[in-house]
Chain A
Amino acid sequence: MKLSLGNKLTILLCLFGLLLSGLASYYSLSSSKQILIAAAKRDLLVANQVLGRNLQSSLENFANDLKVLSTQSQPVDVLQDTPRSPREAVELTQLFTSMLNAHPEYQRIRLIEAKNHGLERINVDRHGITASSALQEKGHFPYVFKTLKLVPGQQFFSEIAPSRLDPDKVLTLHIASPIWTDDQQVLGLIVLSINVKKLFNRLQRELPDYYQLFLANSQGELLLNPERNKSQTKSQGPSVMVQTQLPELRALLEGQSNNMLSILPAKREQPTRLAAFTTVSIEAESKHLLLGLAVPEEHILEASRELDQRLIQIIVVLSFITLLLSLWLARNMVRPLNQISLAIAHFSKNLSLQPLPTERGDELGTLARDIRAMQKKILTQIIELNTNQQELQRMAHNDPLTGLPNRRLFFDRLQHAISNAERSGKLLGLLYVDLDHFKEINDNHGHAAGDEVLGTVAHLLGSVTRSGDTVARLGGDEFVILFDEVESRATLLGIAQKLLALLQNRLLIDGKDLQVRASLGISLYPQDGSDAQTLLQNADRAMYSSKRNGRNTITSA
């Protein structure tokens, strides 16, 4: 298939435009995707660190509250069973209660004595104050036996571990401070129990929904596991150790680094996620929490998907514009070309000038102007050629002095008239005129006067003819008149007599009064000859008869 230049141009320009816009879009897309992911990573890391600091400061606040409680005088008095003890116990209970009321995360505050196997002395929890008969011995719990070994000012932070028998049970963090007498004897402790889930719900509320929050204790045991399907019973399924799932986390758990960024691979019901992990130290020494935030990669790419769509729209629009532009450009290029070729075709066919895009300022305009100039030049030359030809024609058939047809043209016309008369059956008449004594005029008055006489006679001859008749000068002072249509010889004789009468008048030539007379001979077609030669000879002979008969007379053949 042959493509027109316009189509070729359109396709080429379109492809070029598409290629450019496609390349530009691809590069901007891939770079923006990377930027998006980098930004998401940064956000995630920052969010996780902020969350970590929030958690840290919450924990510090809890520790401070506990410190305030443990430095009061009442615990010592109560544990020493001083006389003021009952009243102080009431005060302390009120203090515990008000503290619980002030902090929704606080689950329980207890005063526990060192003796009696760690018997609780005061126990206030969300349900109220525990009756003294229901108080329990807690000596075998780490928060008791470990706290009792601490020096004043130190605090115990328990490991947060899910209850093995009842995983639905609240996750608890126990913070404990030992109570010492003035004489350096440990009396007991105050334990503040924190509802970890409540604390994290509060922290999580500040995060967007799509963030998944992970929390693991220092063993790497997952405490908050967002991967657990909500519908699935929480107590079921394995207790998950993060380091087995993500071995890189071991470095964090072992305290080699503070935070890291990682990809959580896709698994059952969970998409691939981008995750940031950070450790929060409860205590300077060992125990820390591992805090993780994860965002599904999908979510990050969602933004870029919007970008994709926007870019696709832009590409479509750009392509459309490219198409329009290419069409317009191609038309603009091809239309003048077509116009020029059409104009050239017309010119070569019939020399007509068609419109050309000469007004354009570009190369096509120049081309059009050059072509126009060329056309004009050709036209001028053709006209000149025609004029010259006409002049040559005239010079070949006419007598230069009188402007009358010469012998050659006369013969043409005579033959033409004979063939016409042959068909129509009409009569033709020839009148041969020869001036009398013309040589003497030339000799006596000069050639200029002779020429003038010839011109005047030619004029005179013309005056007796009708249109269609031909007056010719055969040479010297001989003229002949062809009458295209005559009724009879008598008519022709009449015309000849009229002419002879006119010639009797004197002519005023060059200020001189001259007598110019002529001898006339008549021949008639078809009586006096059926061909031009014979007819003219017969007229000539008749004219000579006139000459012989004394001139200034008419003789008929």
Chain B
Amino acid sequence: MPLRSLIPILVLCLLSLPLQAKPLLRVLAWPGYADADLVAAFAERYDADVEVTFVGNDDELRLKLSKEGGKHYDVIAANTSEINHFVQQQLLQPLRLANLTQRNGQLQQFRQLNDIPGLIHEGQAYGVPYVYGEMGLIYNRKMMSRPPTSINSLWDPQWQGQVLAYDGSSHSFSLARQALAKPPFATPNEEMPATLAKLIELRRNVLSFYSLPEESVSLFTQNPVALMYANYGRQQLKLLQDAGADVGYVIPQEGAFAWLDCWAITRTTPNRDLAEQWINYSLEPQVSGALTERQGLENTLRNPQTENAPLHLIWLEPVANAELRAKLWQSILAGERPSNLVQP
């Protein structure tokens, strides 16, 4: 009677099924970083549930991650300066690089984590580069006969009401500082009024602000827009071209801010192994390759094949007074007049 003796074991197995519920991986990332089909393939391969949350700007990312000590997410994508910020907030945990085997396929420059500011703290790595891009200018060829050359075009009254800018506090401040020909990532107190005035001036010149790439596309296609600050760079360019817009893309003469987004694992995650598997998975050629093929973003596995001319890129750095910037930016966005802006 071997079958009969198996029955209790089978029953026990059945009873223990609810205890062995699927693990849940919660990913906090940017649009295009975790497409549904790729997520589904991962979920099937590791028999897990995956919940992806997309954010539209760094302020939103900070808000979501910092809520309740980051316990709502397991793995996040953020640029190097934000990683730096989150490490200081003790929201992340050091990575076990030995487990991240897929890093072997990355370009040398993205494996030397020591050379990338913001990723190493006290000798331990906190982020693995995944995708990068720069924030150039997208212009409407039908409206602008010549490509813009400077970011000051965003302030050009000629295009008043036909400009789209990005809704994000740190980038917007950096942009204003750049337009003022000042160091972009720090704003001394005495220079704050001028910076705020510049930002209000920007607000008065734009049609609107967007945060998600899709938002920028619908604003662009539904309204006459001549110029757009492309926070998502070539990803947006591709989206617009796919939507049938006749657009061009330039890196302004002042240089374009560039971001390097990295995966990081939250300190409180209950699924550290699964999070590591996710990072490995994202670095597989077909997943990282999708960033380039589908989104127009640059992945860390191969060199870009676009223009050969050296681009003037300014890598993002941690900004000073991020909270103040965020608060002031919200007031600006709400439409406060200069006289009502609370200043430090």
Which residues of A line the B interface, CB within 8 A? 117-120, 133-142, 145-146, 164-166, 233, 235-239, 244, 268
A134 CB contacts on chain B under 8 angstroms: 340
Nearest Cβ in chain A — how far from B187, in angstroms? 21
B208 CB contacts on chain A under 8 angstroms: 140-142, 145
Compute how far the CA of A145 lies from the CA of B208 in the bound complex, rounded to whole angstroms.
9
Which residues of B line the A interface, CB within 8 A? 24, 36, 49, 51-57, 59-60, 63-64, 67-68, 72, 161, 203-204, 206-209, 211, 223, 330, 334-337, 339-340
Residue from A117, A120, A165, A237 whose CB has the most chain B CB atoms within 10 Å? A165
Compute how far the CA of A165 lies from the CA of B326 in the bound complex, rounded to whole angstroms.
11
- B207 adjacent to A237 (CB under 8 Å): no
Residue from B49, B52, B204 whose CB has the most chain A CB atoms within 10 Å? B204
List 8 A–B pairs whose Cβ atoms lie within 8 Å, in order of A's numbering: A135-B337, A136-B340, A140-B207, A165-B63, A235-B63, A237-B53, A238-B51, A268-B24
Compute how far the CA of A239 lies from the CA of B330 in the bound complex, rounded to whole angstroms.
21
Given contacts A136-B336, A137-B335, A165-B60, A235 and B67 within 8 Å (CB-CB) = yes
Nearest Cβ in chain A — how far from B176, in angstroms? 16
For the A-B complex with A137-B335, A165-B63 known, give 10 more contacts whose Cβ atoms are closer than 8 Å.
A133-B339, A134-B340, A136-B337, A137-B203, A164-B211, A236-B72, A237-B51, A237-B53, A244-B36, A268-B49
- B60 adjacent to A164 (CB under 8 Å): yes
Nearest Cβ in chain A — how far from B315, in angstroms? 26
Compute how far the CA of A134 lies from the CA of B51 in the bound complex, rounded to whole angstroms.
41
B161 CB contacts on chain A under 8 angstroms: 139, 145
Given contacts A236-B67, A238-B52, A139 and B59 within 8 Å (CB-CB) = no
Given contacts A145-B207, A145-B208, A165-B63, A239 and B54 within 8 Å (CB-CB) = yes
Nearest Cβ in chain A — how far from B24, in angstroms? 7
**Which residue of chain B is the closest to A149 with respect to CB atoms?**
B223
A141 CB contacts on chain B under 8 angstroms: 208, 335
Rank and list the top 7 A-B pairs by shortest CB-CB distance, nearest first. A136-B335, A238-B53, A137-B335, A236-B72, A117-B204, A138-B335, A164-B60
Nearest Cβ in chain A — how far from B222, in angstroms? 8
**Which residue of chain B is the closest to A141 with respect to CB atoms?**
B208
Compute how far the CA of A139 lies from the CA of B211 in the bound complex, rounded to whole angstroms.
17
Compute how far the CA of A4 lies from the CA of B182 in the bound complex, rounded to whole angstroms.
111
Per a CB cutoff under 8 Å, which of A136, A140, A165 touches B59? A165
Per a CB cutoff under 8 Å, which of B49, B68, B204 touches A139? B204
A139 CB contacts on chain B under 8 angstroms: 161, 204, 335
Compute how far the CA of A146 lies from the CA of B67 in the bound complex, rounded to whole angstroms.
35
Nearest Cβ in chain B — how far from A221, in angstroms? 11
- A133 adjacent to B54 (CB under 8 Å): no
Nearest Cβ in chain A — how far from B202, in angstroms? 10
Per a CB cutoff under 8 Å, which of B36, B72, B340 touches A133? B340
Binding site of A, secondary structure by majority: helix, strand, loop or mixed?
loop
Nearest Cβ in chain A — how far from B213, in angstroms? 13
Compute how far the CA of A383 lies from the CA of B218 in the bound complex, rounded to whole angstroms.
123
- A136 adjacent to B51 (CB under 8 Å): no
- B54 adjacent to A238 (CB under 8 Å): yes
Nearest Cβ in chain B — how far from A163, in angstroms? 10
- A137 adjacent to B204 (CB under 8 Å): yes
- A164 adjacent to B68 (CB under 8 Å): no
A235 CB contacts on chain B under 8 angstroms: 63-64, 67
- B203 adjacent to A140 (CB under 8 Å): yes
Per a CB cutoff under 8 Å, which of A118, A142, A164, A233 touches B335? A118
Nearest Cβ in chain B — how far from A2, in angstroms? 33
B339 CB contacts on chain A under 8 angstroms: 133
Per a CB cutoff under 8 Å, which of A120, A133, A165 touches B330? A165
Compute how far the CA of A230 lies from the CA of B49 in the bound complex, rounded to whole angstroms.
21
- B68 adjacent to A233 (CB under 8 Å): yes
Residue from A133, A134, A136, A268 whose CB has the most chain B CB atoms within 10 Å? A136
Compute how far the CA of A7 lies from the CA of B118 in the bound complex, rounded to whole angstroms.
90
Nearest Cβ in chain B — how far from A141, in angstroms? 7
Compute how far the CA of A139 lies from the CA of B203 in the bound complex, rounded to whole angstroms.
9
- A236 adjacent to B64 (CB under 8 Å): yes
A133 CB contacts on chain B under 8 angstroms: 339-340
Given contacts A117-B204, A165-B63, A140 and B209 within 8 Å (CB-CB) = yes
B67 CB contacts on chain A under 8 angstroms: 233, 235-236
Compute how far the CA of A118 lies from the CA of B335 in the bound complex, rounded to whole angstroms.
9
**Which residue of chain A is the closest to B338 with respect to CB atoms?**
A137
Given contacts A137-B337, A138-B335, A237 and B72 within 8 Å (CB-CB) = yes
- B60 adjacent to A140 (CB under 8 Å): no
- A239 adjacent to B53 (CB under 8 Å): yes
Compute how far the CA of A358 lies from the CA of B102 in the bound complex, rounded to whole angstroms.
100
A233 CB contacts on chain B under 8 angstroms: 67-68, 72
**Which residue of chain B is the closest to A235 with respect to CB atoms?**
B67
B209 CB contacts on chain A under 8 angstroms: 140
- A140 adjacent to B340 (CB under 8 Å): no
Nearest Cβ in chain A — how far from B30, in angstroms? 13
**Which residue of chain A is the closest to B219 with respect to CB atoms?**
A142
Compute how far the CA of A134 lies from the CA of B336 in the bound complex, rounded to whole angstroms.
8
B207 CB contacts on chain A under 8 angstroms: 140, 145
Compute how far the CA of A489 lies from the CA of B339 in the bound complex, rounded to whole angstroms.
182
Compute how far the CA of A140 lies from the CA of B332 in the bound complex, rounded to whole angstroms.
11
B59 CB contacts on chain A under 8 angstroms: 165
B340 CB contacts on chain A under 8 angstroms: 133-134, 136
A244 CB contacts on chain B under 8 angstroms: 36
- B334 adjacent to A136 (CB under 8 Å): yes
**Which residue of chain A is the closest to B163 with respect to CB atoms?**
A140
Compute how far the CA of A135 lies from the CA of B336 in the bound complex, rounded to whole angstroms.
7
Nearest Cβ in chain A — how far from B65, in angstroms? 10
Compute how far the CA of A136 lies from the CA of B204 in the bound complex, rounded to whole angstroms.
12
Compute how far the CA of A136 lies from the CA of B209 in the bound complex, rounded to whole angstroms.
16
- B223 adjacent to A145 (CB under 8 Å): yes
**Which residue of chain A is the closest to B223 with respect to CB atoms?**
A145
A239 CB contacts on chain B under 8 angstroms: 53-54
Compute how far the CA of A433 lies from the CA of B204 in the bound complex, rounded to whole angstroms.
177
Residue from A139, A140, A146 whose CB has the most chain B CB atoms within 10 Å? A140
B72 CB contacts on chain A under 8 angstroms: 233, 236-237
**Which residue of chain B is the closest to A137 with respect to CB atoms?**
B335
Compute how far the CA of A141 lies from the CA of B208 in the bound complex, rounded to whole angstroms.
6
B330 CB contacts on chain A under 8 angstroms: 165
Nearest Cβ in chain A — how far from B217, in angstroms? 12
A138 CB contacts on chain B under 8 angstroms: 335
Compute how far the CA of A239 lies from the CA of B134 in the bound complex, rounded to whole angstroms.
26
